[in-house]
A and B are shown apart, each in its own frame.
Chain A
Amino acid sequence: MRYSSLSLLRQGLSGHQGWPAAWRSATLKRRYDAVVIGGGGHGLAAAYYLAKHHGIRDVAVLERGWLGGGNTGRNTTIVRSNYFFPESVALFDFALRQYEQLSEELNYNIMLSQRGILNIGHTDHQMELMARNVNAMLVNGIDVELLDAKQVRSELPLANFSESARYPILGGFTQRRGGVARHDAVAWGYARAADALGVDIVQNCEVTEFHIEHGRVVGLETSLGPVSAGTFGLSASGHNGVLARKAGFRLPLTSYALQAMVSEPIKPVLDTVAMSWATGMYVSQSDKGELVFGAGLDLYPSYAQRGNLNVAQGVVAGMLEIFPPFRGLRMLRQWAGIVDVPWDYSPILGPSPVGNLHLNAGWGTGGFKATPAGGYFLAHAMATGEHHPISKPFDLSRFSTGAFIDEAAGAGISH
């Protein structure tokens, strides 16, 4: 069924009892043309682009848990492309441009809200670094603006501009096209569109073993039985390293828990995404009114999907320092997702040491904003066996050639 105001009206008049399921609950077949491991936003997007752009419709997406229940449902929903290096800009702005027309393309409202993302600078050094970054981004064609303290104050009237502030606000920069999108809707929209093109989405299906012959994957063992295919995609975020080892190789990744949390809902007080360079805290307000904020990594490897209290306390303290009026709010929920962090904070895309297994890994702390790009370039690699020009610099080989794309240093921020 095509979603429209007419279908909404029609369903409304019949008590909303007639909505069909958005996607089929598929049973796993024994053989596909292509299998994507990981049913988050990235994996579902890959399946959709395989079917739509490459004519490969005999595709399965294998999800260990439930659809979008990993990092797709655990991020802070921020989208932006304010990166430093041209390679990163090409990649992340591709994703943002896809997001800008995705609701229409998928006929599914992803609730994209381009409310801007405002980075706050607190020292002269940070302001100089921001000016340098803004210049680089402008050269790369990204819509950023350097702001002085007065401009920041007009956009963030609740921020701490008092003379005794521990972290005085000297200015900032904003990307107006940045903002937030509804993360579940991105996964559900891709799932529905992929399903409509014939893709099988199989939940509760954990990959337990890879069968490798002559350097190629010939089949997988899963909790729902064996499955084979001609081409495979690995898109399992925090578990990419675990699955790679089952396939016989290691990746330059470390899996960490990344926390986020929300407050109780309140009336609208914040109409942009604010990010402080002093405390590493970022905060936005959801459509329900909750303040959504995060967080740094718990800095040791974890697969526990929960963060520790000392890091949560640091995040809350950082937010209250920048936004003292939020002191009276109660916390509603706190959680963590497991993110696969590479050494240069840039993703690892394209071929793996196993011939027909392609990587969509290493998105680390910033995968949600890149969902359309991760899916698009994984589909390209799986269908053609080759890199798309945009994904080529992100090849695994950069760890032995030394051609890193060091965004941790380049952008001055870690996510």
Chain B
Amino acid sequence: MLLIPCPWCGPRDEPEFLFGGEPVTRPVPAEHVTDAAWADYLYFRDNDKGPHREVWCHAAGCGQWFVMERDTVTHSVLSVRKPGEPA
């Protein structure tokens, strides 16, 4: 089981958290976004093997979202930061 260091609450057990996908940036302005670019934003992912950037929510805790870098092979947590904080 993962021990996840919530940037607000400190280390907590995995079942308290919700994986929210890879961080993505919505393409703008909408009228210039092609179908392909929109599909890329909605569905296409890096799905990295190894270090992987993810957003997580401490759903059963403080309810806050944060960015976590995690190794998808070893499952070790490499870093966490609050949204907007520099990497």
Of A251, A253, A301, A308, the most chain B CB neighbours within 10 A belong to: A301
Q: A165-194 toward B: CB 8 Å interface, digit per residue (1/0)? A: 000000000000000000000000000000
Residue contact A252 to B72, C-beta cutoff 8 Å: no
Return the contact of A400 from the options B19, B36, B73 (Cβ within 8 A): B36
Q: Kindly report which residue of chain B lies nearest to residue A344, judged by CB atoms.
A: B43
Q: A48-65 toward B: CB 8 Å interface, digit per residue (1/0)? A: 000000000000000000
Beyond the given A253-B47, A254-B47, could you list 5 further A-B residue pairs with CB under 8 A, ordered by the A residue number?
A: A241-B45, A252-B45, A255-B72, A299-B18, A310-B15
Return the contact of B45 from the options A253, A299, A302 (Cβ within 8 A): A253
Q: Kindly report which residue of chain B lies nearest to residue A341, judged by CB atoms.
A: B47
Residue contact A310 to B19, C-beta cutoff 8 Å: no
Q: Which residues of B contact A303 (CB under 8 A)?
A: 49, 72-73
- CB of A309 within 8 Å of the partner chain: yes
The distance in angstroms between the C-alpha atoms of A170 and B24, with both chains bound, is 44
CB within 8 Å of A: which residues of B?
1-2, 13-15, 18-19, 21, 35-36, 38-40, 42-49, 52, 54, 70, 72-75
The distance in angstroms between the C-alpha atoms of A241 and B46, with both chains bound, is 8
Q: Which residues of B contact A301 (CB under 8 A)?
A: 19, 47-48, 52, 54, 72
- CB of A24 within 8 Å of the partner chain: no
Q: Which residues of A contact B74 (CB under 8 A)?
A: 304
The distance in angstroms between the C-alpha atoms of A401 and B46, with both chains bound, is 21
Residue contact B54 to A300, C-beta cutoff 8 Å: yes
The 8 closest A-B pairs by CB, nearest first: A241-B47, A252-B43, A400-B39, A300-B19, A250-B44, A400-B35, A303-B49, A399-B39
Size of A's binding interface in residues, CB under 8 A? 24
- CB of A343 within 8 Å of the partner chain: yes
CB within 8 Å of B: which residues of A?
239, 241-242, 245, 250-255, 299-304, 308-310, 340, 343, 399-401
Main secondary structure of the interface of A (DSSP, over half): mixed
Residue contact A302 to B46, C-beta cutoff 8 Å: no
User: Known: A300-B54, A301-B54, A400-B39. Contact between A242 and B47, CB under 8 A?
Assistant: yes
Residue contact A251 to B47, C-beta cutoff 8 Å: yes
Q: What would 28 A/B residue contacts be, using CB atoms closer than 8 Å?
A: A241-B45, A242-B47, A245-B46, A250-B40, A250-B44, A251-B44, A252-B44, A253-B47, A255-B47, A299-B19, A300-B54, A300-B70, A303-B49, A303-B73, A304-B72, A304-B74, A304-B75, A308-B14, A309-B1, A310-B1, A310-B13, A310-B14, A310-B15, A343-B43, A399-B44, A400-B35, A400-B38, A400-B39
Q: Which residues of B contact A400 (CB under 8 A)?
A: 35-36, 38-39
Q: Which residues of A contact B1 (CB under 8 A)?
A: 308-310
Say how far A218's CB is from chain B's closest CB, in angstroms. Answer: 25
Q: Which residues of A contact B19 (CB under 8 A)?
A: 299-301
Q: Which residues of A contact B45 (CB under 8 A)?
A: 241, 250-254
Q: Which residues of B contact A299 (CB under 8 A)?
A: 18-19
Q: Kindly report which residue of chain B lies nearest to residue A300, judged by CB atoms.
A: B19
Of A254, A299, A300, A399, the most chain B CB neighbours within 10 A belong to: A300
Q: Which residues of A contact B49 (CB under 8 A)?
A: 239, 242, 255, 303
The distance in angstroms between the C-alpha atoms of A242 and B15, with both chains bound, is 27
